[in-house]
Structure 1
């Protein structure tokens, strides 16, 4: 490869330095691995440029900005200890051990130091070190020393720790000034952009939060500073505008303003109650899903919220998921007057998953291949002991309802049934107005110790899911190493009205639980065979999906989902009875309609119900009463006058049946 000139704002050594004329290139992909731009390559290497606006390039940009943040923090707070600083979606963070929490004044000072570091044009220079060398150089950084001791176990080290330590060699990145002096360093796997000047002015710090070291409440609480970074200032501003729009759509705020749900302190964090209007929307969601499932050949089942310990020992959840489960409830224990146990009790657990109970339904009697596929569905409430700091409105809660389905199939049915499931999922989500989808196919890790089952099963099941995913016509990203240890899966992602990506449905292949529970079916050969289990959550959870829809529509639901679909507003009190007759007809047809008979003036009533996101307002005065008509007023303020009552009722019913999003007069034309 021929070397070219480096960007003018950073200086690089000439030997073996592979650069591209395009200044948007920030790193290289050499033989499939991300490498610094300074990597020496040979003629036999497969080399691709990584641009700053690619997914990998953005991660590198953000990780490099996190390092600049850490250096700036230690300039402002020299005694601050370094935690970890990974890139995340749309940004980065860095954790610090400090004696006093950061203040807004600290953040201002840190930003100024970051600006200085960027202008200084420091280079990021990678060095390979031994464990002992790293310990010596980072002797004053206790969290880094702990990570070195966990090398090779990055999954257990801490969220985001893989950017610093892994199974391979340890590396330190030096920040080198223009005169060649190392001015700062950090334990890091890299890669990084060549120099700090490349960060430009497309970054900002966004907020401060507390975070437990390695995600455990047993460890010290650190201070976490979040930030965002983009290739240009214009992209930063566009992102900030998206954040402003997202804040307006925040489901927690809308839930309170529209009187949909709440989280009473008396009940406990992460446990929601649904108000009448929220209950209407949720009920419509559940009833529609139920109808579609029954039409699709699913059978609804019901299972308890609590189970004996043995069930979760058999399923292995008490081994692999114990920290996510609530503590046990001891039942049937008896003691004497002195408190001595006279009868040992039994531990029960709130269920974190529905699947073990669905398995018991399958296992209740002998099954034949003629019984398969067997499709079980349940709106099952589960409980997970989430950390209080992780709770977030309805999207991260401690008690939630999964629209759970488990399908039991023969190996020969796997591909066809997965295709059927995916088609069903996409169709259902489109019913709710979502249209922009893509898929992720999670495949097994190359390391044999990280998965179970035969090579034949993995090859067969992965190929089946691959065929289904690509046949959908959607964008498919294959992700090696992200499968569960017991089988591959397809994750479906959607974009909402402001371009945010949400992961929704999952289709997960599982041979582990059928094996653990000894599930069988009799094949056409008369022999016993093991079924394959497909886990399928359509919405993920009803609470989370409700939150996504609430933000997607900014509270302005399609007519069929709106808590109040129609409100009648008389021009004056004497026209209230006329509107009441129309509303009564609508209510008889199943429409959620009401008349505002309050003493408020008409204009205030219009403002009130517009604020409440009511899709259709019917206004009537003397002219309408005399002509047997009404006027429609819509969410955007547009209005259509003089519509005959029968026609108006037909339009309303059609909008509900067609699941139309009605915000303007044109939407109801």
Structure 2
């Protein structure tokens, strides 16, 4: 074996170095600036420690802060380890479990010593201070390979029961690694079991670029039957500027929280009696109705036929479709109840018959749509058939995962399924891409398009998946969206068990992304449920079934809209589009007349004739996010004008009533009807 190896850099240049050279040494040879900036190395595409020796010919790329995605994951991983070290330093006897990086930070699950209460928010300042001390100590992070038995012995000797349990389950034939914080074996060295990679030292972290955010309860291995732990959450960044920007986004997000605004605007509420389902108030349901009417117009224009299917279907149907085997834990199922009446009391008690038929409340609409498609004989000349449904579905989401309108147990989808021939798939998906584009633009959203590819556990042949994935690629290309302008990206392993899918990720006003619309090219369900059409050759053929939605669900899309617009919905969506408010009682009759004319013009208007100061009325209607306040006093009544105060704008405009009505009528027209 040669003592020299060949290292190829991203620019195509190559250099011969001694076997065992580290990427850090190569960075230093290139220049001191790079040596200081380099955080880790990408070896043949795999991120590794910058101090890990190279043992063969390789392609090498050095990761710096400019490689933000890789760099952020590295620093967040390290912040998590520093967090665990700090907690154990402050409270000896604390047991640690796991601490991964997250989308905007990190967490670590720990168990407080028996001598003290579980960790709380009050402990976070002390932990932060200790973390900064560890970072400023610039302790080296050193990788070592251990045997499984070494790990088990280490954790058992130190009373780390969770780590010991996990170590016993690790495979003996894999390379098992630990990382020291500090020189191995030194007095202040701290050790954790980890795959890595890590930075070269704790000093590579910015001590001012993290913040501990909150604590929460957790269970060992996520099972509530196991020991309860404390999960300490933090957010971590490459520098203080990024941290401050993130905290500002969080502050803005809190102001936009749809649950808070929903209360202030009197749109909806949630309560334990129907946990996971929404009580829509008149104003909130007005938003729903406007969205539903808008989507119906879009679907009618796209050649969809609207249907309505049952909420309950026999479990055998869900078994045949494959959902019962893959999704049963998320479904609500009910048996055929037989009431037994007590002869003495006359009270009926429900009992389940031994041979009861089990019914399941639908978690999705697709099997029912196949059953509609199967009625009668379908010819190739009838295809494509586009069946749409504003379908109410139920899913047994975990209690702790429920979140306002964003994640519920009862929801309604703007759902549709397109049944088409193999030759029609690309064109139908292309048309859907253009339809989705028009909808999102009507709401002012930009978006990215992503293709979720075959998961590890799936139905169907490899050939089927190859074809289905390529059809979606071709359709997006024909729609002109398979490029950087639309953030085109492929996501390995993230498709559904029956089909790949295109996903639309919206970007809201404060830069957050929301995955909403999807379309999936499915050949599995038509086969499992025996759907067919008669082809030109007179033989039966399987249709391809395209599952598609644009809003995703009305509940979640309304929640996104509320937060995106901070409650200041476009006038056409606002539940109350204008309020006519009086300054003095002498203007009451004129206010009633103005409101009547506005209502006759199709404006959703209310009158505020209360004996309150106008500033009080302005504040109240601003809090309710009414787009326009039309103020009238004695002068306006005499002149036939209104003083228009627009939400979010300074001052007011004096307009003739007829001109104000025309302005409001134009703004209240849905975007798809403007110019019609």
Instruction: Judge same fold: TM > 0.5, yes or no.
Output: yes
Alignment match of 2:73 (pick from 55, 59, 84): 59
- CA distance in 2 between partners of 1:43 and 1:343 (Å): 67
**How far apart are the structure 1 equivalents of 2:342 and 2:282?**
48
User: Given the alignment, which residue of 627, 631, 647 partners 1:635?
Assistant: 647
- The CA deviation at 1:230 is 0.7
C-alpha separation in 2, matches of 1:551 and 1:577: 38
Count of matched residue pairs: 633
- Identify which of 386, 409, 412 aligns with 1:401: 412
- CA distance in 1 between counterparts of 2:514 and 2:579 reads 33
Larger deviation, residues 41-50 vs 308-317: 41-50
Structure-2 residue corresponding to 1:644: 656
Query: Is 1:543 the counterpart of 2:562 in the alignment?
Result: no
Match in the other structure for 1:187:
193
Q: Which residue of structure 2 lines up, in the alignment, with residue 213 of structure 1?
A: 220
| Alpha-carbon distance in structure 1 between the residues aligned to 2:534 and 2:175 | 52
Structure 1 unmatched ranges of 5 or more = 5-12, 153-164, 661-669
Equivalent position of 1:84 in the other structure: 98
The range that moved more, 618-627 or 190-199, is: 618-627
Segment of structure 1 superposing worse, 354-363 or 251-260:
354-363
Structure 2 partner of 1:505: 517
Shift of 1:206: 0.4
Aligned match of 1:607: 619
Q: In the alignment, is the contact (CA less than 8 A) between 1:414 and 1:461 conserved in 2?
A: no
Secondary structure of the equivalent of 2:611? Answer: coil
In structure 2, the CA distance between the partners of 1:515 and 1:173, relative to structure 1 (3 Å rule), is farther
Structure-to-structure mapping, 1:297-376, within 5 angstroms: 297-326=303-332, 328-333=333-338, 344-376=355-387
Stretch deviating more after TM superposition (404-413 or 285-294): 404-413
Q: Give SS of 2:224's match.
A: coil
Where does the alignment leave 5 or more consecutive residues of structure 2 unmatched?
A: 1-5, 10-17, 28-32, 344-348
1:412 counterpart SS class? helix
The 3-state SS of whatever aligns with 1:657 is coil
The answer as to 2:31 corresponding to 1:17 is no
Partner SS state of residue 195, structure 2: coil
8 Å CA contact 2:7–2:60 kept in 1: the answer is no
2:136 aligns with: 119
Equivalence for 1:279: 285
1:97/1:518 CA distance change after superposition, 3 Å: farther
Please, which of 397, 407, 418 is the counterpart of residue 429 of structure 2? 418
Q: Tell me which of 595, 605, 609 is aligned to 1:597.
A: 609
On the 8 A contact 2:390/2:412 being kept in 1, the answer is yes
Q: Does 1:232 align with 2:200?
A: no
SS at match of 1:536: strand
Question: Retained in 1: the 8 A contact 2:210–2:237?
Answer: yes
Q: In the alignment, which residue of structure 2 is the partner of 1:665? A: none
**Residues 325 and 116 of structure 1, relative CA distance in 2, 3 Å threshold:** same
TM-score, L = length of structure 2? 0.88
Residues 278, 628 of structure 1: alpha-carbon distance in 2 compared, 3 angstrom cutoff? same
* Secondary structure of 1:46's aligned partner: strand
Contact 2:383–2:421 (Cα < 8 Å) also in 1: yes
Please give the alpha-carbon distance, in whole angstroms, between the structure 1 residues aligned to 2:188 and 2:464.
52
Indicate conservation of the 8 Å contact 1:262/1:274, yes or no.
Answer: yes
Structure 1 SS opposite 2:488: strand
Match of 2:664, SS state, is helix
Aligned partners of 1:65, 1:294: CA distance in 2, in Å? 53
Change (3 A) 1:398 1:50: same
Distance in 2 of aligned mates of 1:371 and 1:211:
54
Matches of 2:160 and 2:382 in 1, distance apart? 61
Instruction: Tell me how large the CA RMSD over aligned residues is.
Output: 2.7
Aligned-partner Cα distance in 2 for 1:334–1:625 = 67
* 3-state DSSP of counterpart to 1:535: strand
Instruction: Using the TM superposition, name which of 616-625 and 66-75 deviates more.
Output: 616-625
Say if 2:587 and 2:637, in contact at 8 Å, map to a contact too: yes
Shift of 1:168: 5.7
Q: Distance in 2 between matches of 1:277 and 1:296?
A: 29
Displacement after TM superposition at 1:456 (Å): 2.7
Q: CA shift at 1:479, angstroms?
A: 1.8
Deviation at 1:181, TM superposition (A): 6.3
Shift of the alpha carbon at 1:149? 5.9
2:581 match = 569
**Does the Cα contact within 8 Å between 1:83 and 1:144 map onto a contact in 2?**
yes
2:41: which partner in 1? Answer: 28
Q: Which stretch shifts more, 459-468 or 296-305? A: 459-468
In structure 2, what is the Cα distance between the partners aligned to 1:14 and 1:71?
34
Distance, in Å, in 2 between the alignment partners of 1:518 and 1:298 is 23
Q: CA deviation at 1:150?
A: 5.8
* 2:153 paired with 1:143: no
2:52 to 39, 61, 78: 39
1:122–1:178 contact (8 Å) kept in structure 2: no
Contact conserved, 2:19 with 2:56, CA < 8 A, in 1?
Answer: no
SS at match of 1:450: coil
Shift of 1:248: 0.7
Q: Distance in 1 between matches of 2:19 and 2:91?
A: 36
Task: Give the whole-Å Cα distance in 2 for the aligned partners of 1:341 and 1:468.
Answer: 50
Partners of 1:343 and 1:96 lie apart in 2 by 47
Supply the distance in 1 between the matched residues of 2:131 and 2:19 (Cα, whole angstroms).
28
What residue number does 2:13 align with?
Answer: none
CA distance in 1, matches of 2:559, 2:388: 22
In the alignment, structure 1 residue 386 sits paired with structure 2 residue 393: no
Counterpart-to-counterpart distance in 2, 1:38 and 1:547: 47
Deviation at 1:219, TM superposition (A): 3.1
